[in-house]
Amino acid sequence: MIKKNYELDKIDFKKNNILLFYGINEGLKNEYIKNIVKKTSYTRVNYFEAEIFDDLNVFFESIITKSFFENKKILIIKKSTEKIKSVIETIIEKKLEDIIVIIDSDELTKKSKLRVFFEKDEELICSAFYADDYQSLSKITEKFFVQKNISVSRDIINLIVERANGSRMHLNYELNKIENFALNEKKIDYSDIQKLTNLGSNYNISELVDQCLAKNKNKLIKIINENNFSNDETIIIIRTFLTKTKRLYLIRKEIDKKKIDLEKAISNFKPPIFWKDKNLVKTQIKLWSKESIQNLLVEITDTELLIKKNINNSINILLNFMHSQSSSVSN
């Protein structure tokens, strides 16, 4: 059955213990998952869909078998696709108790078999997590400073939201840095926020991703040669790649849906695209169709999983992937 996000707090998990969270708002998903874990006191166990299908027998044995002293489990199955439907059907058949299963999936269309399966079954929960808009991220930021009793200007609010790049996860990360910096401060200056959220070490990472999406192979190679990117930075790079690609997808979707021109779509985008980045984003959009962006999102997800499985060689895997994307021909 379909539930709005705010209705999830009222769910009886003894009756409805299998949920589908779909959509691109990873930050909001994480907030609700943390709330459910806290509310139930279940032990959180994370899986990637690919891990489960590597050995289904091991997976089912791990969730069925439990010791006398073992806590009840809440299973979070990330990066889930249509394939996970067969696993959920088996879990339902086995009538497993003392577990909660949350399927974490990206955007699903109305025709998605997985989505339809959850929407039509009264014992299953289906909840969509759509992207935050500029206003909602502003409200989160305003509430944070009110709760911390810190005085800030509207310019500071706008700067923080702008640098979150439309991501609640990024916003929470920045607010956490600000909280650690502020401590007992009652007022923060604009210059403090500029320095704190500037992500100076991440500037070249952002540039690296931008040039890849612009298919500027020469500049991409130049950035790689001038920076000693390490295995420790691969997750930051791939997540930045994902965020910027999702932004392209949302702009392209707006153009196709509302039949508006590129200039207007970029001007209307929330949070606003920084003026000096607009031409680069225009170049990127012209190079990527909606279908090619969707394919890229899947490939980024697959690459992140590969990176996590081969962390000692992750930077080479990632840079090779970006090299190939900068050379690819979009449909």
| Domain interval for residue 185 | 134-198
**Is 179 in the same domain as 207?**
no
Give the residue from 98, 128, 158 where a domain finishes. 128
- Judged on CB neighbours under 10 Å (0-12, 13-18, 19+), 1 is middle
User: Which residues is 99 bridged to in the sheet?
Assistant: 73
**Is 88 in the same domain as 102?**
yes
| Lowest-confidence pick of 135-149, 175-189, 276-290 | 175-189
Tally of CB atoms within 10 A around 119: 16
Is the model's pLDDT at 183 over the cut of 60?
yes
**Is 206 in the same domain as 322?**
yes
CATH number at residue 169: 1.10.8
**Is 18 in the same domain as 64?**
yes
C-alpha 243, offset from chain centre: 7
pLDDT at residue 207, as a whole number: 85
Is the model's pLDDT at 75 over the cut of 80?
yes
- H/E/C letters for each residue in 176-241? HHHHHHHCCCCECCHHHHHHHHCCHHHHHHHHHHHHHHCCCHHHHHHHHHHCCCCHHHHHHHHHHH
26 within 8 A of 56, measured Cβ to Cβ: no
C-alpha 227, offset from chain centre: 26
Is the model's pLDDT at 7 over the cut of 60?
yes
Give the residue from 158, 177, 198 where a domain finishes. 198
**Is 294 in the same domain as 212?**
yes
Label residue 134 by pLDDT band (50, 70, 90): confident
**Is 207 in the same domain as 322?**
yes
**Is 169 in the same domain as 244?**
no
Is the model's pLDDT at 124 over the cut of 50?
yes
Is the model's pLDDT at 174 over the cut of 60?
yes
Give the residue from 183, 198, 213 where a domain finishes. 198
**Is 44 in the same domain as 116?**
yes
**Is 255 in the same domain as 319?**
yes
Label residue 201 by pLDDT band (50, 70, 90): very low
46-73 residue pLDDT tens: 999 989 999 999 999 888 876 656 678 8
Is the model's pLDDT at 200 over the cut of 50?
no
Q: Which residue has the tokens 């931008």?
A: 210
- Whole-number percent of the chain with pLDDT over 70: 93
**Is 268 in the same domain as 316?**
yes
CATH number at residue 308: 1.20.272.10
pLDDT at residue 41, as a whole number: 87
**What is the value of pTM for the model shown?**
0.59
**Is 300 in the same domain as 184?**
no
**Is 77 in the same domain as 177?**
no
260-316 residue pLDDT tens: 889 889 888 876 777 778 899 999 999 999 999 999 999 999 999 999 889 889 999
Number of compact structural domains in the chain: 3
CATH number at residue 60: 3.40.50.300
Structure-derived torsion over alpha carbons of residues 94, 95, 98, 99, reported in degrees to the nearest 10: 70
